[in-house]
Amino acid sequence: MKNKTLNGILLCSLIFIVGFCLHGNLSLYFNLSGIFIVFGGTATAALVSFKFEQLKTAFNMLLNAYKTPAKKKTEVINILIDLSIRSRMEGILSLQEEEDETTVLFLRRALGCLVDGYEIEQIRDIMNTEMYFYRLGRDDSERILRTIADFFPAFGIIGSVVGLITMLGGIGDTSVILQAVPIALTSTLYGLILSNFFFLPFAAHLRERTNQELLLRKIIIEGVISINSEVNPVILKTKLESFLTPAEREDELVSYNKIKERFNI
Amino acid sequence: MKNKTLNGILLCSLIFIVGFCLHGNLSLYFNLSGIFIVFGGTATAALVSFKFEQLKTAFNMLLNAYKTPAKKKTEVINILIDLSIRSRMEGILSLQEEEDETTVLFLRRALGCLVDGYEIEQIRDIMNTEMYFYRLGRDDSERILRTIADFFPAFGIIGSVVGLITMLGGIGDTSVILQAVPIALTSTLYGLILSNFFFLPFAAHLRERTNQELLLRKIIIEGVISINSEVNPVILKTKLESFLTPAEREDELVSYNKIKERFNI
Amino acid sequence: MKNKTLNGILLCSLIFIVGFCLHGNLSLYFNLSGIFIVFGGTATAALVSFKFEQLKTAFNMLLNAYKTPAKKKTEVINILIDLSIRSRMEGILSLQEEEDETTVLFLRRALGCLVDGYEIEQIRDIMNTEMYFYRLGRDDSERILRTIADFFPAFGIIGSVVGLITMLGGIGDTSVILQAVPIALTSTLYGLILSNFFFLPFAAHLRERTNQELLLRKIIIEGVISINSEVNPVILKTKLESFLTPAEREDELVSYNKIKERFNI
Amino acid sequence: MKNKTLNGILLCSLIFIVGFCLHGNLSLYFNLSGIFIVFGGTATAALVSFKFEQLKTAFNMLLNAYKTPAKKKTEVINILIDLSIRSRMEGILSLQEEEDETTVLFLRRALGCLVDGYEIEQIRDIMNTEMYFYRLGRDDSERILRTIADFFPAFGIIGSVVGLITMLGGIGDTSVILQAVPIALTSTLYGLILSNFFFLPFAAHLRERTNQELLLRKIIIEGVISINSEVNPVILKTKLESFLTPAEREDELVSYNKIKERFNI
Amino acid sequence: MKNKTLNGILLCSLIFIVGFCLHGNLSLYFNLSGIFIVFGGTATAALVSFKFEQLKTAFNMLLNAYKTPAKKKTEVINILIDLSIRSRMEGILSLQEEEDETTVLFLRRALGCLVDGYEIEQIRDIMNTEMYFYRLGRDDSERILRTIADFFPAFGIIGSVVGLITMLGGIGDTSVILQAVPIALTSTLYGLILSNFFFLPFAAHLRERTNQELLLRKIIIEGVISINSEVNPVILKTKLESFLTPAEREDELVSYNKIKERFNI
């Protein structure tokens, strides 16, 4: 799936770039004053709006969203059913070893609470607070990317106006003036491309990813609480299944058999 | 009704296209660089924002919304009254056969819960969760279509600016420049038409359909719960009627007589 | 009042139209291709977004909003006080005759519930559901009108771009080109006028009317429930008065005297 | 304070107008057709959207907001503490005289409820309903002003397009055409100034004033209820102080001493 | 961190300004009429919308947000743990001395409530009201800055239209006309830069700062209430830690050791 997305992006950007080269001469797109104004202006506006630290966090978060794929819902559900079975067979304290193995940070903390013997209400409280601040941080980063995406076209237009003014001031020859217009427009082009080709999609991607991560966290909270109240693994499975779409449910059934094998039930 | 809509669309698009051809020469609308930039750019932006899988789901959902018409509210209400009568006459387990017959997936699952003997609160919980995730998925798809509809005009303008720059750069003849402007504008035209003629209406249609489907699901939940609490079919009918507009209520009365015949009451 | 509004509209549109004719020649505003594109395009977009049936409902609702004036709040309150007095003097069943007389559909249904002996909670439930679906329908229609108002300027711009392309393609004479621009702009003019002069005001009017109707319904619910709990007519009057502005309250006092006469109290 | 605002407005508008006159000839700004279209069009759109009565109410409300300054929070709090002391010394019925003196309509009605012996819950209910409808009315008026502010620029553009079409149609001389553009643009100027210089600030002002008035009403409700439950004036003062900013609190302390004097405590 | 932000702003604005100077002659950017219209118009609109007092408050708040850095969350948490330990060792009244030392106004008021012996519910009420009005004031100021940022580009366009009209009216020479366009555009430039380079980032910064301050206040409320209910300092630490991101938590551990030293535990 991931590869399809990547191939699609490569193919489509190629088409996009071919569109740029079709009528010729790429040097026409180069406008140093425009580059300075668009990048310098947007960067200043971003730094006046947010602190350097916040911008760095937002970009790291974005990079992570593209580099590490999200855990699949079925995978997390399988881990939870696994843990539920083990907890019923070997006691809740046996989950301590699992705690160190899991790569999902949120699950690790939830298991920690479980092993430490917190009560259901307390676990729910702690995990919900954790989730709330996670969401706050992600929303901040998305807002930063959207704000930057809004600044780019504005500074693109500023660059174009500057281009028109500096290049045409004092010249009275119509043909030269009309010829200069496209050069000045390159700034607008920079602003539009940076906003629509990069930052708006980045912000949208971050938002989709946040939604997925929050859903996973909801599943983990439900699962861990069920383990704590010693719910039957089969009922737990039915419960967690309601988080899946019908298509995903069939996927999950396969792994259920694997669990059966593993625990020799 | 469906045909009226279809005929209307055909007639109106014809008028729209005639408007394009009126002053002549269709080849003027063709601009390869613009097509590459508008389609390539929007596709890339969509793929960077969302995963390939999500886009496919959105388009399938859209196709389905146009292909299969929504069940009518009166139809679903009639089925529910039917089931209520049968349940009182032959017991709740007799609904198992009906479960296999119904083509409404959501109703089938609700009947399954009924036959399995879940309690009212549990059925309401399960069906509401199901509805919540259904809505989440539909909202995602609508948002994807709207985002694409927002990208198209932006890349249309990018294409126009590119057209102006590539075609005019280095030429100093006023008349040639003014003549090139309309050609460059075709990109804007592509973007505007794709957004306003296709994707915004698609998103609006999906939203209307989602609202209808959610209303049907609400009716089904109310009906199934009433069947479970053995409410009198006449009272059930009065209750479900409040979901109908006055005009639709008259429709329904006809079918009520048919039910009477069928069960020889 | 109504006449003032109508006279104002006539006078102001006249001024508006004079502004169009001032500099001459009305034939300049005629652009067949533009008319086709703006109307054809918007109609297609509307039909792809919504079903023919929905559009018809929206336009009927709009027509009704202009044709039949809203009942005045004081009038409805007077009817309710009237009914309250009669109910205390002749018993609740005497309201059955009134039920057939009233022209307010919602009041008729509320009285029906009253006479049928439903309990307060049930009446409130039924009437609130009724109100909820009424509001849903009105909001749908307003959204349809707003969506159409959004499509018009977009297709106006499409028409203008088409005009520029078809008329200028292949011509290299500057003066002809500049002369053609205004003709192409007529499409934009069509789109802007249809949106701002017609559809946006229509949507705003429908919304105002919906707000008024919902307020009337709230008053009716409060009144009918008070009648059912046999509240003293004077207290009922004080209660319903809080729905009126200070100016409207004085109006109402007059009619209170009339009621006194009528019932010889 | 008020004078500073007024002087500021006068000074800044003067600067604004000087900017208009700097390059000369004011007669250039006059465009009869534009005036007709912008004013006639916006007035018609406003009258089709809202009723004449609603528009009159909105303008009266606006005029009042500029003419009569809002009561200061400290002033209202002082009155309430005053009333609280008097009520404890001379009994609640002594407030009847004060009722006639106060110029704050809302306070008068609240005192009326107090003297009439309503219970706390009833007073809260009545005053909240009163406040809810007050807010509804103010929000309506603000929305009307905003809608008009949105119509103005749209009709400004319509006027400009009309200007271009009527003045240029049939003329083929480039220089005349370019010269006519600025004249046509005056309509856009009218629309922009009327919207940004007048109606948007009017709507913003009305909103600020509404927020202030609602806060005053909240203070009055809290105060009157405390008087009814015979709360100690000192505690009442502490309670109402939390509605003040730290700066305003110091203001208030002065008046507290005055109260002490007045009642010889 | 602060220095990085400052250096970044200086560097980026330099790049931005270089972009302006690249093509020459800075005197081209000067347009007296434009300056008068943009500044005079926006100032008038701001003064008609808001009172002079409100504008002054908003600018003071903005200045403060840039001058005094926000307290760090870990710092505030350390103070609270400190106070908790001291309260358990020396009794709650010992906090009175601390009250005078702290520079955080909100904490001082909270400690005041603590020492005065208010109950938990009362403290929560008082502090929440305080927080609510704090937020109201900050939101007002942010809205004022955003409104001004919206006025600037509008008056920039007004200035450009005025420039076109005054400079071109009566002149029929094409080359002069085209040459005048860039000069008129400077007004638009002023409006865009003032909005995007200054006021939008200012408003965004104020909002970020408000969010931070509100979070600090939430931490203080939780902490003070825990101190009042004599919660164990270790549990308090765990509780307050959930307000920190994982990275910040490590920071905090260091200071925990310092506390141990200080109190010789």
Chain E interface includes D186 (CB < 8 A): yes
Q: Which of C13, C175, C188 sits opposite D172 (nearest CB)?
A: C175
Within 8 A of D177 by CB-CB distance, chain C residues are: 175, 178-179
pLDDT of the residue at C101: 66
Chain D interface includes E159 (CB < 8 A): yes
CA distance D40 to D51: 16
Query: Residue range D141-145: average pLDDT?
Result: 94
pTM value? 0.84
Contact state of D189 with E165 under an 8 Å Cβ cutoff: yes
| Chain D: residue whose CA lies nearest to E172 | D175
Residue E180 vs residue B196, higher pLDDT = B196
Contact state of C35 with B14 under an 8 Å Cβ cutoff: no
Distance from CA of C147 to the nearest CA of D (A): 16
DSSP assigned state of D29? G
Q: Which of E40, E53, E126 sits opposite D19 (nearest CB)?
A: E40
pLDDT of the residue at E261: 59
CA distance C73 to E24: 69
First to last CA, chain D: 34
DSSP assigned state of E265? -
- Which pLDDT band holds residue E130 (cuts at 50, 70, 90)? confident
Contact between residue B174 and residue A174 where contact means Cβ atoms under 8 Å apart = yes
Contact between residue E197 and residue A41 where contact means Cβ atoms under 8 Å apart = yes
| Chain C: residue whose CA lies nearest to D158 | C189
CA distance E31 to E34: 5
- Range with lowest mean pLDDT among A235-244, B14-23, B213-222, E198-207: A235-244
- Which pLDDT band holds residue A149 (cuts at 50, 70, 90)? very high
CA distance C137 to C32: 36
pLDDT of the residue at D141: 93
CA distance D54 to D62: 12
Q: Is the dihedral of CA D2, D8, D11, D15 positive or negative?
A: negative
Report phi then psi at A113, rounded to 5: -60, -40
- Range with lowest mean pLDDT among A67-76, A173-182, B224-233: A173-182
pLDDT of the residue at A155: 94
Q: Which of E9, E15, E25 sits opposite A36 (nearest CB)?
A: E15
CA distance A250 to A231: 23
Identity at C71, one-letter amino acid code: K
| Chain D: residue whose CA lies nearest to E43 | D12
pLDDT of the residue at C74: 85
Contact state of A183 with B167 under an 8 Å Cβ cutoff: no
Alpha-carbon separation of residue D30 from D33, D44, D178, D192 (angstroms): 9, 22, 18, 15
Exposure letters E163-192 (e unless 16+ CB within 10 A, then b): bbbbbbbeeeebeebbbbbbbbbbbbbbbb
Distance from CA of D182 to the nearest CA of C (A): 14
- Range with lowest mean pLDDT among A182-191, B145-154, D253-262, E197-206: D253-262
Within 8 A of A195 by CB-CB distance, chain B residues are: 154
Contact between residue C48 and residue B202 where contact means Cβ atoms under 8 Å apart = yes
Tokens of B20: 């394009």
Helix axes E32-49, E174-193, angle to 10 degrees: 40
Contact between residue D18 and residue E36 where contact means Cβ atoms under 8 Å apart = yes
Within 8 A of A170 by CB-CB distance, chain E residues are: 25, 28, 179
Chain A interface includes E162 (CB < 8 A): no
Query: Residue range D72-82: average pLDDT?
Result: 86
pLDDT of the residue at A197: 92
Please determine, for residue A134, whether its predicted confidence score (pLDDT) is greater than 70: yes
Q: Which of E15, E23, E201 sits opposite A45 (nearest CB)?
A: E201
Q: Which of B39, B157, B170 sits opposite A192 (nearest CB)?
A: B157
Tokens of A242: 């309601």
Chain A interface includes E243 (CB < 8 A): yes
Chain B interface includes C169 (CB < 8 A): yes
pLDDT of the residue at C179: 63
| Chain D: residue whose CA lies nearest to C24 | D166
Chain B interface includes C112 (CB < 8 A): no
Within 8 A of E167 by CB-CB distance, chain D residues are: 23
Burial class (CB in 10 A: 0-12, 13-18, 19+), E211: middle
Please determine, for residue A137, whether its predicted confidence score (pLDDT) is greater than 80: yes
pLDDT of the residue at D257: 58
CA distance D11 to B226: 72
Contact state of A14 with B172 under an 8 Å Cβ cutoff: no
pLDDT of the residue at D162: 87
Which residues, including other chains, have CB under 8 Å from residue C90's CB and lie 6 or more apart? none
pLDDT of the residue at A1: 47
Reported as a single tens digit per residue, the pLDDT across D167-191 is: 766 555 555 666 667 778 889 999 9
CA distance C177 to C180: 5
pLDDT of the residue at C256: 55
CA distance E159 to E177: 17
Q: Which of D2, D8, D189 sits opposite E162 (nearest CB)?
A: D189
Within 8 A of D178 by CB-CB distance, chain E residues are: 168, 174, 177-178
Interface test with C, best of D108, D165, D187 (most C CBs within 10 A): D165
Per the rule left: phi > 0, alpha: psi between -120 and 50, beta: everything else, E169 is beta
Q: Which of E32, E50, E178 sits opposite D22 (nearest CB)?
A: E32
For chain A positions 24-83, those within 8 Å of chain B (CB to CB) are: 24-25, 28-29
Which parts of chain D fold into alpha helices (H)? 2-21, 32-49, 52-67, 73-90, 95-101, 105-115, 120-168, 174-193, 200-228, 233-241, 246-262
pLDDT of the residue at A62: 93
Within 8 A of C15 by CB-CB distance, chain D residues are: 36, 39-40, 43
Contact between residue E44 and residue D12 where contact means Cβ atoms under 8 Å apart = yes
pLDDT of the residue at E170: 54
Within 8 A of D162 by CB-CB distance, chain C residues are: 19-20, 189
Reported as a single tens digit per residue, the pLDDT across E67-98 is: 888 888 888 888 888 888 888 888 777 777 77
Burial class (CB in 10 A: 0-12, 13-18, 19+), B155: buried
Contact between residue C50 and residue D78 where contact means Cβ atoms under 8 Å apart = no
Query: Residue range A118-139: average pLDDT?
Result: 86
Q: CA-CA-CA-CA torsion for B142, B145, B146, B152, nearest 10 degrees?
A: 180
Q: Which of A20, A28, A188 sits opposite B37 (nearest CB)?
A: A20
CA distance B88 to B111: 15
Contact between residue D20 and residue E161 where contact means Cβ atoms under 8 Å apart = no
Q: Which of A5, A182, A183 sits opposite B47 (nearest CB)?
A: A5
Distance from CA of D21 to the nearest CA of E (A): 8
Reported as a single tens digit per residue, the pLDDT across A49-88 is: 998 888 999 999 999 988 888 888 888 888 888 888 888 8
Chain A interface includes E249 (CB < 8 A): no
Q: What is the CA radius of gyration of chain B?
A: 26
Identity at B118, one-letter amino acid code: Y
How many CB atoms neighbour CB D250 within 10 A?
11
Contact between residue C134 and residue C217 where contact means Cβ atoms under 8 Å apart = yes
Tokens of E101: 């030392």
Tokens of D158: 């319509």
Chain B interface includes A17 (CB < 8 A): yes
How many CB atoms neighbour CB C90 within 10 A?
11
CA B39 to mean position of chain CA atoms: 24
- Which pLDDT band holds residue E60 (cuts at 50, 70, 90)? very high
Distance from CA of E148 to the nearest CA of A (A): 16
pLDDT of the residue at B142: 94
Identify the CA nearest to D235 among candidates D92, D84, D118. Answer: D84
Distance from CA of B248 to the nearest CA of C (A): 13
pLDDT of the residue at E1: 47
Q: Is the dihedral of CA B230, B233, B238, B244 positive or negative?
A: positive
Contact between residue A227 and residue A77 where contact means Cβ atoms under 8 Å apart = no
- Which pLDDT band holds residue A145 (cuts at 50, 70, 90)? very high
Within 8 A of D178 by CB-CB distance, chain C residues are: 178
DSSP assigned state of C194? I
Contact between residue D22 and residue C4 where contact means Cβ atoms under 8 Å apart = no
Chain A interface includes B129 (CB < 8 A): yes
Identify the CA nearest to A17 among candidates B157, B156, B36. Answer: B36
- Which residue positions in chain C have pLDDT lower than 50? 1, 253-254, 265
pLDDT of the residue at C149: 95
Query: B-C interface: how many C-beta pairs under 8 angstroms?
Result: 149
Identity at B174, one-letter amino acid code: T
Neighbours of chain E (3+ CB pairs under 8 A): A, D
Contact state of B172 with A174 under an 8 Å Cβ cutoff: no
Q: Is the dihedral of CA D209, D213, D214, D215 positive or negative?
A: positive
CA distance A210 to D96: 61
CA distance E219 to E225: 10
Neighbours of chain A (3+ CB pairs under 8 A): B, E
Beta-sheet strands, E only, within chain C: none
Burial class (CB in 10 A: 0-12, 13-18, 19+), B105: exposed
Q: Which of C5, C14, C17 sits opposite D52 (nearest CB)?
A: C5
Within 8 A of A167 by CB-CB distance, chain B residues are: none
Contact state of E14 with A172 under an 8 Å Cβ cutoff: no
Which parts of C93-232 fold into alpha helices (H)? 95-101, 105-115, 120-168, 174-193, 200-228
User: 3-state DSSP call for residue D191?
Assistant: helix
Distance from CA of A7 to the nearest CA of E (A): 36
| Chain B: residue whose CA lies nearest to C160 | B189
Chain B interface includes A200 (CB < 8 A): yes
pLDDT of the residue at D1: 47
Chain A interface includes B175 (CB < 8 A): no
Reported as a single tens digit per residue, the pLDDT across B12-48 is: 999 988 888 877 677 778 888 889 999 999 999 999 9
Within 8 A of E60 by CB-CB distance, chain D residues are: none
Chain A interface includes B104 (CB < 8 A): no
CA distance E57 to E145: 11
